[in-house]
Amino acid sequence: AQKVTQAQTEISVVEKEDVTLDCVYETRDTTYYLFWYKQPPSGELVFLIRRNSFDEQNEISGRYSWNFQKSTSSFNFTITASQVVDSAVYFCALSEAPGGTSYGKLTFGQGTILTVHP
């Protein structure tokens, strides 16, 4: 069975601080996808990134960066110079790769509530 653990329930930072959200996953699949989503107070789920298990390169997108470490089954998310607008719940998720019987089904972590104070 798949499992995603986000050990940090809540994080509070002051604007301009860097913050890292941890994500650890468990799966028996050899190929899989990892995701990060943002859920602002308005409730919609905003896609941030999808990473294929074959691709261990770290990715940077503006103030966001992701560190994928297959050896430790971790897919951590860092926000540099945080802003008040980054305040949201962040979810890490896992799914099978195409071809699997459970492809498309997402297993979510419990989420991390990030509060950025001015």
Partner 1 sequence: SAVISQKPSRDICQRGTSLTIQCQVDSQVTMMFWYRQQPGQSLTLIATANQGSEATYESGFVIDKFPISRPNLTFSTLTVSNMSPEDSSIYLCSVVVGYSNQPQHFGDGTRLSIL
Nearer to partner 1, 64 or 108 (CB): 108
Nearer to partner 1, 14 or 45 (CB): 45
The residue type of 76 is N
- Alpha-helical (H) ranges within 21-86 are none
Nearer to partner 1, 16 or 40 (CB): 40
The distance of closest approach from Cβ of residue 15 to partner 1 in the complex, given in angstroms and rounded to an integer, is 25
The distance of closest approach from Cβ of residue 72 to partner 1 in the complex, given in angstroms and rounded to an integer, is 22
C-alpha distance from residue 96 to each of 73, 90, 108, 111 (Å): 15, 20, 13, 20
User: How big is the site for partner 1, counted in residues (CB under 8 A)?
Assistant: 21
Residues 6+ apart with CB under 8 A from 68: 34, 51, 55, 56, 57, 58, 74, 75
| Residues 6-65 within binding reach of partner 1 (CB under 8 A) | 35, 37, 43-45, 47, 50, 52
Nearer to partner 1, 18 or 103 (CB): 103
State both tokens at 78.
Answer: 């860092």
State both tokens at 85.
Answer: 């607008």
List interacting residues with partner 1 (CB under 8 A): 35, 37, 43-45, 47, 50, 52, 91, 95, 98-99, 103-111
